[in-house]
A and B are shown apart, each in its own frame.
Chain A
Amino acid sequence: MNTIQLIINGLGTGAFYASIAVGFSLVWGVLNVINMVHGSLVVLGAFLGFFFWKITGLNPVFSVPFVAVSTFLIGATLQSVFINKVVSAPVLTTLTLTFGLDLILYNVMTVYFTASIRRVTTSYGNIDLGSAVVPIDRLYVAIFALLITGILYLVLRMTSIGRAIVAVRMDKTAAALMGIWVKSVYAITFGIGAMMAGVAGAVSTLIYPVTTGLSGAFLLKAFIVCVIGGLGSIPGALFGGLLLGVIESFAGYAIGPQNSLTLALAIMLFVLLVKPTGLMGVKGFD
């Protein structure tokens, strides 16, 4: 067993999982909405990245500005037109609504892009570290995932809109009294969540196939990372993502890739049970 190789693989996929989960976690933490559309937004980003590559022949990474703007707008529109109407409703209503929206988006994508599996073909080769091999396309994805996660972290900490989002997450009534327009913060937050999903999706085309069939799997990863890492903090999502990546990597080697997801789900249920706020969760965000 090549431990170093397994750790490298795990951290690579883990960074990608983290970049999917931060947007999901942000929306959950701020709006108190479980966003079932998230997986389909990742797939939408992947399609946009794929078509960019197909048309221009450039690395899908370069499609990021365009994908970011379009998915942000889609997310902000979804929030202000639909989700905002029920944002204070119980989880049953909000989860059902986002699931319904997900069914529509998924169906539209399946009809327009067809269900056939597409791939971005690249030939970047590998970096040989002697005891382990790092494929360069995976390295790209991991670095990019960490980069966007880091940027989001800085945006939330440094900018005034970021501070407003954090304020609404902590106490929306108090935030409103301080002159923050909660409605627009909600729309921007949902837009950022969608943007993170879209951008992660666009970059994921380097290593994952592009198909609507993956939307459920991406959503499930976001769930698991969010619960394991803990809600309400970006470091939590990053930690959860990397942990999930490494667990899956080792479990895939030891008990087979098909069982590694089962193990991840079992771990998630266990964490829900013993520490619902997550391993790095902050109290008060539940």
Chain B
Amino acid sequence: MKFRSLAILILWALALLSVSLLQNNYAMRTATMIAMFSTLAYSWNFIGGLAGYPSFSTAAFFGLGCYVGALGQVHGLSIPSAWFLAVIVVGAFSAAIGGILLRLRGHYFAVGSIAIVELCRLLITSIPGLTGGGSGLNVPLVRWSPDAVGLLFLVVMVTLFIMVGLVTQVVQRSRLGFGLRCINQNEDAAEMVGINTTAYKIVAYVLSAIFCGAVGAAYASWTGYIDPNEAFNSLMSIKVPVMALLGGAGTLLGPAVGSVIFILLEEVAWSNFLEWNHAIVGLVVVVLVFCLPNGLLRLNFSNILTLKPARRIWERV
């Protein structure tokens, strides 16, 4: 069963890669975005889906990854070492922040995680000497032909996607995944039966951060320019959980399914209703919450046929 999901994931990654055969730049860019957001959705899934902590700090890790990677490259590091540095820094940052924030629960954790994004954005903006402040930062471009660069970043994002998929698979089957699911259901009970909840939560938080950092660093090299409002965009913090929820949080394929649908919807919205793209994202969210509370992969088709209202996941407890 699990191996089947993994096989689907790898086939899907290959399909994304094969988009490059179309020789169509728009399709390539969309495939890269899909791989990128799938990776982010899987990262969020560690803390939000498995452990059930409502984390909205994806944009903080993504943005920090952008800036560390970009600054590394600006100061002469090679691209791989700049990305590696970004992963290390974001990992350390998330461990420190996690140690503080994960003592909170529910609403307070959510508020704290949103505040982290704003705090990072303001701090990065307030040191223009290092980061270029509000006017942003130019990242050295990869000096290949445009097509080769496009292919490079598609391969990079798909590789990150496969990596996060494999890690998800390993975590789900491990003691860690079991412990996180216990925390999700009842944290006090989990602690009672001897799960080191603090350590587990921090590991999940760091796992959710490092891939965001890697994606951020790769994104900065891809676009060649970053600014604080784009890197630390709170809309991203909400879009990524919505993608994971759309597919089914905590499942192995859910985040991938959710992000494909979301990105394609967003592309349609951007190209047809430019003015209304925020409202369309909002509409997707509203429809998701009311019609697909458990995600697409947890849809019970017999309920649809008999028109029974879907049983929401929080009613199971």
Q: Give Cα A28 to B107, complex, Å.
A: 9
Contact status A216-B234, CB under 8 Å: yes
Question: Which of A87-95, A170-178, A237-245 makes up part of the contact surface?
Answer: A87-95
Contact status B282-A276, CB under 8 Å: no
Q: A91 and B106 in contact (CB under 8 A), knowing A100-B282, A269-B119?
A: yes
**Whole-angstrom distance from the CB of B110 to the nearest CB of chain A?**
5
Q: Give Cα A107 to B115, complex, Å.
A: 23
Contact status B48-A100, CB under 8 Å: no
- Asked if A187 is at the interface (CB within 8 A of a chain B CB), the reply is no
Contact status A227-B111, CB under 8 Å: yes
Using CB atoms, name the residue of chain A closest to B55: A92
Question: Which of B170-178, B217-225, B272-280 makes up part of the contact surface?
Answer: B272-280
- Asked if B296 is at the interface (CB within 8 A of a chain A CB), the reply is no
Chain B residues with CB under 8 A of A104: 278-279, 282-283, 286
Q: Give Cα A97 to B283, complex, Å.
A: 10
Chain B residues with CB under 8 A of A102: 282
Q: Give Cα A262 to B123, complex, Å.
A: 7
Contact status B123-A269, CB under 8 Å: no
Q: A93 and B119 in contact (CB under 8 A), knowing A100-B281, A100-B284, A269-B112?
A: no
Question: Which of B70-78, B238-246, B252-260 makes up part of the contact surface?
Answer: B238-246
- Asked if A261 is at the interface (CB within 8 A of a chain B CB), the reply is yes
Residue among A97, A220, A227 making CB contact with B118, cutoff 8 Å? A220
Q: Give Cα A108 to B283, complex, Å.
A: 12
Query: What is the 8 Å Cβ interface bit string for chain A, positions 186-212, against chain B (1 contact, 0 not)?
Result: 000000000000000000000000000
Q: A111 and B275 in contact (CB under 8 A), knowing A90-B314, A91-B107, A93-B314?
A: yes
Query: What is the 8 Å Cβ interface bit string for chain A, positions 248-267, against chain B (1 contact, 0 not)?
Result: 00000000001101100110
Majority secondary structure, B binding face: helix
**Whole-angstrom distance from the CB of A112 to the nearest CB of chain B?**
10
Q: A265 and B289 in contact (CB under 8 A), knowing A28-B107, A91-B54, A272-B108?
A: no
Q: Give Cα A101 to B314, complex, Å.
A: 21
Q: A93 and B278 in contact (CB under 8 A), knowing A265-B119, A265-B122?
A: no
Contact status A96-B285, CB under 8 Å: yes
- Asked if B26 is at the interface (CB within 8 A of a chain A CB), the reply is no
Contact status B279-A259, CB under 8 Å: no
Q: Give Cα A106 to B289, complex, Å.
A: 19
Chain A residues with CB under 8 A of B278: 103-104, 106-107, 110
Contact status A111-B276, CB under 8 Å: yes
Contact status B286-A82, CB under 8 Å: yes
Query: What is the 8 Å Cβ interface bit string for chain A, positions 122-142, against chain B (1 contact, 0 not)?
Result: 000000000000000000000
Chain A residues with CB under 8 A of B286: 82, 97, 100-101, 104
Q: A96 and B245 in contact (CB under 8 A), knowing A34-B111, A107-B276?
A: yes
Chain A residues with CB under 8 A of B288: 96
Contact status A223-B285, CB under 8 Å: no
Q: Give Cα A108 to B279, complex, Å.
A: 7
Contact status B110-A103, CB under 8 Å: no
Q: Which residues of B28-75 have CB atoms within 8 Å of chain A's CB atoms?
A: 48, 52, 54, 56
**Whole-angstrom distance from the CB of B227 to the nearest CB of chain A?**
15
Chain B residues with CB under 8 A of A265: 115, 118-119, 122
Q: A273 and B100 in contact (CB under 8 A), knowing A32-B107, A265-B115, A266-B119?
A: yes
Q: Which residues of B97-146 have CB atoms within 8 Å of chain A's CB atoms?
A: 100, 103-104, 106-108, 110-112, 114-116, 118-119, 122-123, 125-126
Using CB atoms, name the residue of chain A closest to B285: A100
Contact status A223-B114, CB under 8 Å: yes
- Asked if B312 is at the interface (CB within 8 A of a chain A CB), the reply is yes
Using CB atoms, name the residue of chain B closest to A34: B107
Q: Give Cα A95 to B48, complex, Å.
A: 13
Query: What is the 8 Å Cβ interface bit string for chain A, positions 73-96, against chain B (1 contact, 0 not)?
Result: 000000000100110111111011
Q: Give Cα A262 to B293, complex, Å.
A: 36
Closest 8 CB pairs of A and B: A100-B285, A103-B282, A107-B279, A104-B282, A92-B54, A107-B278, A100-B282, A262-B122
Sample of 13 further A-B pairs with CB below 8 A, known A107-B278, A273-B104: A86-B289, A90-B52, A91-B110, A93-B289, A95-B110, A100-B284, A100-B289, A101-B286, A103-B281, A104-B282, A216-B234, A227-B108, A276-B108
